[in-house]
Structure 1
Amino acid sequence: MKIKKFGYLICILSVILAMGFTGCSDSKNNSDSTKNVSKNNSTGSEKTNSNSTSNENREVEKPKNSIESNTVAKNSEGIKFSKKELSSDTKINFNTPWKSSEDGSYSACIEGKGSSALEEGQGRIIVKNGQKIYSFQIEGNTAISPKYLEWADSENIFVIIGSSHGTMSKGGDLYMLNVGRNEVVLLIKTPSKKQQIISVQKSGSNVNLKVNVYDDDAYNKSHVEDWVINSFNTELNGEMEVKNSDGKVVYKINE
């Protein structure tokens, strides 16, 4: 009987010891697992912070030698000129008289529309600079053409652009073309189709314009008005008023 009891106690102790070892093993494993998870989370956090910092640095950093420009593109009403250099022996004919720039370095004319640029079809501007000859032709729109030009200074040309066909189109709107940079800007878009600028002449700081104004809807009768741009500058700085012969402001440049 005593032997059975002793055996029974040994069995109970064996079970208790086994459970103790299992608990310790599980606790150790759980502890190790917790440490690994904590370590992995910490490592991931460090990587995330590192990547975040790196991204922030990339966003803040600017390319070296970068230049911020505040240049404002000027309105050209979608008109562009294609500039091409012609051979020095190119013959220019059926053109308007040559006009020289202020310093004499350039001369220009309109080719292809006759001596007064009133013939049908699209003409092109021809510019000479020493031995070099360049053509400037309106891109993508044969319905319009240069109809008159005059130098604004040593590099900018006043250009009147209007319909390339029809006897009712004696003039058009006023643009300015920089022959060095091949940049064009709209200066005056007449308020009415019945008003067409037909000539432009610079006089000191003012620019005098001749404007053909039709008096009837059939475009049979017309008269010519004198307009003037006061205090004009080719840099187009500030507002410039355009007045008619009565002194009334009819248009504002850079309004």
Structure 2
Amino acid sequence: MRHCQSDASLLIIVPAYNEAGQIVQVIENIRAHVPQADIVVVNDGSKDDTLERAQQTGVTVLDLPYNLGIGGAVQTGYRYALRGNYDMAVQIDGDGQHDPAELGKLVRALSESGADMAVGSRFLDKQGYQSTRTRLIGIRFLSMLVSSLTGRKATDTTSGFRICGRRAIALFADRYPTDYPEVEALMLMHKHGLRFVECPVSMRPRLHGRSSITALKSVYYMIKVTLAILLLQSRRRSAEEAV
């Protein structure tokens, strides 16, 4: 494992669980489009050859001893980014859905807006892969909920293609939602006075295999995240009233 490079400004975090079929291609795509960035793969207790194939590429690989879930894997990446003193950290999923060629849009959105996070939305320009009908219903509902509670436009709250500045890196290194964290992370930022913006990106279907999120799990996800958001909002109001 290579050590963090404190003089590097951009870190690509690639959480991966059983992504042996595409992890090498994902890393090669990142290198082709963002050669100046450091890459860290967080192997989330994979049962296949994800660890070995990622290590063969020469990137830094953090090998978790057992499966923590996407939240734990991503937080591990942010802790690495914080220790390495990176200015920006980008999440790119290990399944190949996020196109590194679109990363420049996120960097510009973060810089020009002065926000703490820029989220890539596939729904602003409606280009590329748009997800399944069942998931679209859930995404639209959660996006409306987040928009109404934060006062900020949100169209793709489940997007894991996002870039964070230093304040967001520090927050997520300290605390990060578990299970299906993308939506809750936006609310966590709002709670701590951090700001996010969206920018249009194009996404792709996963390169190999199938997503573990079925139609039934999509419904469960929507209900669970909605309850978590409302609970977080309730705690925030209670804290404000106590001041």
Q: TM-score range by the shorter chain?
A: under 0.3
**Structure with larger RCO (C-alpha < 8 A, sep 6+):** 2
More strand by share: 1
Q: Whose Rg is larger?
A: 1
The TM-score, its normalising length taken from structure 1, stands at 0.27
More helix by share: 2
